[in-house]
Structure 1
Amino acid sequence: MSTRTRISSWRVGGPSTPAVHIAVPYANENRNHLLLSEWRRQGGEGLPAPPLMLPRRGEGTYRARVVKQDLLDLFVEDQYSDAVGGSTGGPGGHHEDRILMHVTFGGEWRFAAGGRQSAVGPGLLSARRNDAPWDFEVARGTRAVTVGLPAGEIRFPAHRREVLAAHSSPAAALLLAQLRLWTELSDGLGPAAAGAARNATLELFHGLVNDRVMDDAEFTPALVRAAMDHIEDRLLLEPDLSPRSIAAALHVSVRTLYRAFARGATPSVMGYVRERRLERARAELMSTRLSVSEAAARWHFADSSHFVKAYRKRFGETPAERRRDARRTDSGQGGDVPRPHPRG
């Protein structure tokens, strides 16, 4: 395969854009030092050198070409690379504060982290967290565009480090079209239009990630479990606990949260919240001197009549009936023992 650098039809950057164009013989004993020193010389602060390691070969030349374009707090890099490896992410690592998206047109990226491996070949894109180390390898003749998005602005799914998608999927195609158009028109955009382009890009990225995740059978149980844990911690503290607040805390869309609960053997999101509040209220009614109206208010029911109705539907009896039965049982075993009042 020819190692000649191929120029993408996706134009990135201009005459003053940071760029590197490097050639290093694989057989050179100082090949890694030469690569990094030349990268630093050409790229400067605008295009910092990643941690790279060239394989040892008796012949041939490693070639790389990268052009970087900054788009407010995002960046786009048009990349060509021959075979190379490295590691990225983690404290002090390369682009640790970014969500990185690799859009592969030719060749292949291979990533490994925490026992998980993925290969991103032609026609695929990979979006991944970069807050922990990833090992990577690049196949010879790989053409890709890499996009860096601000991690603090991204609602990346909880318990997920990477999302894969095909370029041809509708959500991916829309995002890539937006990015391509933004890079081409960026020089002529004023501050307001550039900000709007930036916000639209982030929303389209969220749409892509959520479309991929909500159909992922492996992700659904983890999301439901995380949502249940979040709900349990806030049943008493948040009277207005809602699907929107739960989804925001877990960095997923409300639609993704609804779909995850619909797939499992669980009630709806708010059905689960109501069920757990009823169960917690029932336990306190049996172990404290709370009145029915006090329990209803404490567990955020609109009023005692709504609470009693929901309680009867859930347990097949009213709170008063259950408490009478419990007292009869206690009396037969030696009388009613005073119980402490619950603390918030």
Structure 2
Amino acid sequence: MVDIAVPYADENRNHVLLGEWRRQGGEALPAPPLILPRHSEGAYRVRIRAQRMLDVSVEDQYSDAIAGDTGGPGGHLESMVVTHIMLSGELRFASRKQQSRVGAGTLCVRRNEEPWDFEYARGTRAVVVGLPASALRFPSNTLAVTADQASPAARLLLAQLRLFAELSDELGPAAATAARDATAELFQGLLNDQVVDDADFTPALLEAARGYIEDRLLDDPDLNPRAIADALRVSVRTLYRVFAQQATSSVMAYVRERRLDRARADLVSTRLTVSEVAARWHFADGSHFVKAYKKRFGETPTAGRRG
């Protein structure tokens, strides 16, 4: 917990602020480099209550007007993806490559490995969540993503965070791990909904989906869009959209095409009957397999084997 008030007129206000912050926050809550404006009256106030969910940090912050930076390498939350969920006021971020302005009712998810300058407006309150960068897949050419807190993905994430804040002291190790993993999944879903059209992210997701499908064509008779999306930590809607944008067929059409390709290889390289090949590659029955095979290759399985 950090709760500090420093008079704006104090000549040593920045030194006093940082010294008191170090005393209260210690190593668990280090202070970023800060610069207080100077006024003839009044005081700067900052309050932060910090909690941890294993390697996820959650901070309830209030700040009057102040400017600073994240400190770059070795700075606060350097190796994290940081999300500011704005409850009141306004926060502005600027890096060499991107600028973001976040107001009440919105949230901003940003990569924190390079320095950001920031500026808080007076009376700004936010919930700040830090997740390890290794826990999320963030597109390489994007530093920050903003979203409306009223979006379904954001509402689900916020409900999870509120519930964690209420129950964190009561959770055992197994429940804490599950809560942490669920939070990371919800963040990934929110992020994917916002950046699915990213030039780097979309082809990479399609390639990952195809690889996952290829590995499970034989062993998973129930392979379906929900299972694929869950494994890749994206929404089903995102998976559908990626295939619609980047592929020549839908998700399940692609699964069927690849099973037919593998079945064709079996027909010419094994002594399995047509019915056995159909069952091996999870077609409902022999007639269904023959019909799908003929549609894809322009001939029956028997003719394909003779050829």
TM-score by length of 2: 0.70
Give 1:102 shift.
0.6
The alignment of Structure 1 onto Structure 2 pairs a total of residues equal to: 262
| 2:124 equivalent in structure 1 | 142
Q: Measure how far apart 1:267 and its partner are.
A: 3.6
The answer on 1:56 being equivalent to 2:38 is yes
Coordinate RMSD, CA, aligned:
3.9
Q: What is the CA deviation profile of residues 179-225 of structure 1, one whole-angstrom value per residue up to 9, with x for unaligned ones?
A: 111111111121111111111111111111112223xxxx4434346
1:223 aligns with 2:168: no
**Distance (whole Å) between structure 1 residues aligned to residue 35 and residue 250 of structure 2:** 48
In structure 2, the residue matched to 1:210 is 192
Mark the CA change 1:269 to 1:163 in structure 2 (over 3 Å): closer, same or farther.
farther
Do the aligned residues in 1 keep the contact of 2:33 with 2:71 (CA within 8 Å)? no
Select which of 127, 130, 145 maps to 2:112: 130
Shift, 1:268, TM fit:
5.3
Secondary structure of 2:130 counterpart: strand
CA contact (8 A) 1:96 1:130 kept: yes
Q: CA deviation at 1:86?
A: 1.1
CA distance 1:258–1:160, change in 2 (3 Å): farther
- C-alpha distance in 2 between matches for 1:220 and 1:258: 15
Determine the structure 2 residue equivalent to 1:106: 88
Secondary structure of 1:221's match? coil
Aligned to 1:121: 103
Question: 1:262-297 deviations in whole A, cap 9, x for unaligned?
Answer: 236x64599xx9xxxxxxxxxxxxxxxxxxxxxxxx
Distance 1:142 1:212 in 2: 25
The alpha-carbon deviation at position 251 of structure 1 amounts to 8.7
Distance 2:96 2:234 in 1: 23
The equivalent position to 1:190 in structure 2, one of 172, 177, 199, is 172
Distance of aligned partners of 1:177 and 1:254 in 2 relative to their CA distance in 1, 3 Å threshold: closer
CA distance in 1, matches of 2:249, 2:109: 29
Aligned equivalent of 2:15: 33
Q: Tell me the equivalent position of 2:182.
A: 200
**In structure 2, what is the Cα distance between the partners aligned to 1:225 and 1:152?**
20
How far 1:122 sits from its partner (Å)? 0.7
Distance in 1 between the 2:194 and 2:89 partners?
A: 23
Partner of 1:58, secondary structure, is: coil
Other-structure match for 2:29: 47
Match of 1:88 in 2: 70
Instruction: Give per-residue Cα distances to partners, 1:223-269, cap 9 Å, x unaligned.
Output: 346679x79xxx9xxx96999xxx99x996786465245236x6459
Deviation readout 1:73-93 (Å, 9 max, x if unpaired) = 111111110011111163212
Going from structure 1 to structure 2, the CA distance change for 1:133 and 1:74 (only over 3 Å counts) comes to same
CA distance in 1, matches of 2:200, 2:185: 24
Instruction: Check whether the contact 2:86–2:105 (CA below 8 A) recurs between aligned residues.
Output: yes
1:166 partnered with 2:148: yes
Cα offsets for 1:61-112 (capped at 9, x unmatched): 1111111112211111111100111111632121111111111111011111
Rg bigger for which structure? Answer: 1
Decide which of 257, 262, 270 is 2:244's aligned counterpart: 262
Q: Which runs of 5 or more residues in structure 2 are unaligned?
A: 218-224, 255-263, 269-295, 299-307
- Choose which of 34, 41, 54 in structure 2 pairs with 1:72: 54
- Return the alpha-carbon distance in structure 2 between the equivalents of residues 311 and 158 of structure 1: 40
- The CA distance in 2 between the partners of 1:302 and 1:133, in whole Å, is 54
Preserved contact between residue 156 and residue 251 of structure 1 (Cα < 8 Å): no
Change (3 A) 1:267 1:147: same
Q: Is this contact kept in 1: 2:81–2:130, CA < 8 A?
A: yes
- Displacement after TM superposition at 1:131 (Å): 1.1
Task: Give distance in 1, aligned partners of 2:173 and 2:22.
Answer: 31
Query: SS at the partner of 2:37?
Result: coil
Is 2:79 the partner of 1:97? yes
What is the DSSP-based 3-state SS (H/G/I as helix, E as strand, rest coil) of the residue aligned with 1:85?
Answer: strand
Distance 1:120 1:259 in 2: 28
Contiguous gaps of at least 5 residues in structure 1: 1-18, 274-300, 313-344
